[in-house]
Amino acid sequence: MKHIQTFVLGILAGMSISIGGIVFLSCESKVVGALFFTIGLFTVCTFGLNLFTGKVCYALDHKAPYLFDLFLIWCGNFAGCLLTGLAMRATRVAPALIETAQGICTKKLSGSPFSTILLGLFCNVCIYIAVDGYKNNPHEVGKYLALLFGVTVFILCGFEHCVANMFYFSMAGMLGLNMLVFILLNTLGNIIGGLLIPCMFKVIKK
């Protein structure tokens, strides 16, 4: 039952990030789109949903079974993004969203594997700042500023978020081996970036 709950909360998180992705694709201004994309992580944190890029940051605080939870969460996120992408492709706003998503995804696939990993790394440094800031900042305003700045910065910098990209590729209809390899490399970068600051803290405290 616990695993089912973990997976379902992962699906809901994927759908939440997808809504942020829809907003981003709908905005002509990249800055405005980046700001409103924050709705995704805001929803995840507020309702306690399972987002891979956030949960992986705390892998060092858990025992080995947590790795299976992370796998379930990743799969749930992908399922949520895929379902949302397929649903949106059936709506009247689909043509514009699909065209924008295809342009974004084509550009993403043009990068080298090393570039994808590095951009994923820097993305999850931002996600760690956002999520841990929300979790531990004693000030209510500070919690939400952490989310706002963390998400907006990673988008404007062009960093790669594996769950957001799951949605973009689903929306674009560009599902296939190239997409899967890109997402896996992106995920690897997100894992490294999410663990970077926690690892440094552990080394400093020794």
Q: 169 near 97, Cβ under 8 Å? A: no
Check pLDDT > 80 for residue 205.
no
Sign of CA dihedral 79, 81, 84, 86: negative
Q: What is the pTM of this model?
A: 0.95
Q: Report pLDDT for 71.
A: 98
> What's the DSSP call for residue 112?
-
Domain ranges of the chain: 2-205
Give which of 11, 75, 4, 3 is closest to 49, Cα–Cα: 11
Tokens describing residue 100: 């924008």
Q: How far, in Å, CA of 146 to CA of 155, rounded? A: 14
Please check the confidence at residue 39 and state whether its pLDDT lies above 70.
yes
Residue 140 C-alpha from the chain's centroid: 23
- Indicate the pLDDT class of residue 201, thresholds 50, 70 and 90: confident
The CATH class, in words, for 2-205 is: mainly alpha
